[in-house]
Amino acid sequence: MTARRLSLIGSATTASQGVVVNSEITLTPAYRPGQVLETVPGLDVTTHSGEGKANQYLMRGYNLDHGTDLAVFVDGMPINEPTHAHGQGYADINFMMPQLATDISYTKGTYYADEGDFASVGSIHINYLDTIADQAQVTVGTEDFQHYLVAGSTPLGSGNLLGALETQHYDGPWTTPGDQRKVNTVLRFSSGDSQEGYSLTAMFYHDLWNAQTDQPERALTEGLISSPYSELDPSDAGYAQRSSLSWNFHEGLGDGVLSANAYVISNHLTLWNDFTHFLVDPLNGDQEAQHEDRTTVGGDTSYAWTTQIGNVSNDWLAGLHSRFDFNDVSRMPTEDRIPLTAAQLAAVDYPSYYTESDTVRLSSVAGFVQATTHWTDWFRSVLGFREDYMYGSDTGTWYGTASRTLPEPKASLIFRAARDTELYLSYGIGFHSDDLRGVNQARIEGLPGAPLIAKQTGEEAGVRQDFFDHKVAMTLALYSLDAQSETTYDPDIGQDSAGPGSHRTGFEVNVTYQALRWLELYGSYSGDRARYTTPYDDGTGHLGEYLPNAPFATGQLNLYVTNLGPWKAGLEYRYLSSFPLSSGPCADSAVAADFGHGLTCADAPTAKGTVFGSGYGEWNGDVQYALGKGWTAELGIYNLLNKKANAMEYWYVDRLPGEPDYGQADIHFHPLEPITARLTIAKMF
């Protein structure tokens, strides 16, 4: 199973670039579609509010929120959404069918000319199969989990037609059942291969669910909620609908290969969230509807070719990118998902700026070129240059326009120290875009704000090594990353906003061991240090340089069993270290600014020291058995040891009934689900 990973010696740009092979995708125990991405080393994928919401991503000392610095692509389509109703770079892959995923490739860092917005920490490209065995699956599990899948492909004309349909219902352990109702379809025609061929794919996804938003700890200790699986506002919920048409094309042209893709994506989303309870509205509560109707149109073109000058070979890659988003996005106060009337808002003097309606238009174009030069059989360089231009206009609440151009040089030097050893040195500039509404708001209010494009600068040194006749593969990377503007979370509005700059350093080590013909062991560990470049007030009276929710470490340990007669199995341990929840210790000046009322750290409604989240470790397992005649049985058990921990924690101010009007800072938690079992019976035809 290690062959594809080992083959990267001689072709990879850095030690932190890789490919996840299909056998690992199949055998990795995945509680939800997004956890398939945990096959990417050092990436932790969790959730804090309902099955249909985009996952929470953490990697390399980053709380990536719902995708701010992790670019995700499915079948060539960008999934991240800029200027989003809930979070900048929102990357919802609940529509992805793991059964169709093939050869997930990933990068980390700012060193790749063909990677643009949101890719500075990492990028993940998920391809879809062109053909699949005709099959039907039925999965039932604890907590009323039901999943049904039918899929298959057939030759048609000069190519193949693939179709897949899945439905899912899941309540979960929650006092108010999650009642997820999901329908997902794929129809794909393909012809040829990745060198000479094309595919045309249509997708449709619809999901409804009740959301279990993170809850304040004191609500549990004071008996306002009956268990960690209860919520103060049971009417929180979500609705998502996505449809897309994508085209991918590859053709030999001259001495190279021309690749192109185009896509049209329609996204509709509403999230009903109540984060701060009675802090803003003491009568009706603080629930709000975050809504958007978005159409995204775009495409990419690249050409790869090789030139030879004497004994020096150059592999060239040049390309163009374009993307256009048409987004009507709004935010509206609600109670039990019903919009509040003007009279209700006036009765509590509801802040007018908490209600928004924006008509956003975003344009993104880029060009890049990259040259991989093989100077000798032991040294090659990868030099690239990319330039991005973005323009945005808003004719709504935060009216105005913004634009920026960013030149991005990239460079990597690769030394082949021995047949099975490569050393890497890399440097590059990348970026993530900022929410246009926040950029315009800063201009309107005369405040310093982040530009539409926030620059990030990265450096990395690494090694890739094979041992013992290719039975062991190891990579080690040391990195640093400086961000011009750090995206921060604002619980009052449930959205991200631009904050101060940051500096991160860390290391990542990955080891694969093919112990036996039928047994592979894989381990990954990342240790990280993340700090703001200037002291930051997190809004709770704390002032410091810690980045809230940035983990000190993440790790994985996987065991894969295959080629063992009718048996296959996967065992996974996923680890998230402790992490700071507040930016630093309590500061009297910050308390006075945030809360007033003459409070100091001694009597303010906040802890005195830096607040930390506890992290967790969790075991998951999956066993598959071929029954014969095309029948298979699969048993997945998640949270094997029934670990009691929080999947995610936050620290912010909210207000419960009877508390002072300025509220109280508290840890807000979303628990891990308890031990869960799911049984799948499948028939291949």
* Cα three-residue angle 490-496-498, rounded to 5 degrees: 100
Determine contact, residues 121/60, Cβ cutoff 8 Å: yes
pLDDT of residue 26: 86
Convert 68-91 into a string of H (helix), E (strand) and C (coil): CCEEEEECCEECCECCCCCCCCEC
Domain count, the chain: 1
In sign, the C-alpha dihedral spanning 112, 117, 121, 125 is negative
pLDDT averages per 10-residue partition of the chain, 685 residues: 57 90 85 89 88 91 87 96 94 95 92 96 95 97 97 96 98 96 98 91 98 94 95 96 97 93 98 94 94 98 94 96 97 95 92 89 98 96 98 95 97 94 96 92 81 94 90 94 79 61 93 92 94 88 90 93 93 94 86 70 73 93 95 97 94 92 92 96 96
The burial class, CB within 10 Å (0-12 / 13-18 / 19+), for 61 is buried
Longest Cα pair distance anywhere in the chain, in angstroms?
A: 81
Q: What is the pLDDT of residue 307?
A: 95
CA–CA distance, 49 with 272 (Å, rounded to integer): 10
Angle, vertex CA 429, rays to CA 428 and CA 431, nearest 5: 140
User: Which one, of 423, 426, 442, 444, lies nearest residue 434 by Cα?
Assistant: 442
Give the separation between CA 367 and CA 585, rounded to whole angstroms: 45
Q: What are phi and psi of 271, to 5 degrees?
A: -115, 125
For residue 456, give both structure tokens.
């990030």
Any residues with CB less than 8 A from the CB of 342 and at least 6 apart, and which?
none
Residue 404's CATH number: 2.40.170.20
- Compute the C-alpha angle 553/556/562, nearest 5°: 170
Domain range enclosing 215: 3-684
Q: For residue 492, what pLDDT is reported?
A: 47
pTM of the model: 0.94
The residue assigned the tokens 């065995």 is 133
Class of residue 491 by CB neighbours under 10 A (exposed 0-12, middle 13-18, buried 19+):
buried
Q: Which amino acid is at 639?
A: N
* Closest listed residue to residue 261, CA positions, set 243, 244, 279, 249: 249
For the chain, how big is the Rg over CA atoms in Å?
Answer: 25
The residue among 655, 650, 648 whose CA lies nearest residue 671 is 648
> Is the separation of the CB atoms in 237 and 337 below 8 Å?
yes
pLDDT of amino acid 606:
63
Query: What span, in angstroms and rounded, lies between the C-alpha atoms of 603 and 582?
Result: 18
**Nearest CA to 279 among 574, 490, 581, 421?**
490
Q: How many angstroms separate the CA atoms of 112 and 471, rounded?
A: 29
Question: How far apart, in whole angstroms, are the C-alpha atoms of residue 229 and residue 218?
Answer: 14
Q: Say if CB 112 and CB 410 are below 8 A apart.
A: yes
Q: Say which residue the tokens 């990028």 belong to.
A: 123
Residues 496 and 512: beta-carbon distance below 8 Å: no
pLDDT at 193: 85
Q: Are strands 18-20 and 101-107 parallel, antiparallel or unpaired?
A: antiparallel
- CA–CA separation, 432 and 438 (whole Å): 14
Any residues with CB less than 8 A from the CB of 540 and at least 6 apart, and which?
Answer: 582, 594, 606, 651, 652, 653, 665
Burial class (CB in 10 A: 0-12, 13-18, 19+), 419: exposed
Position 491 scores a pLDDT of 52
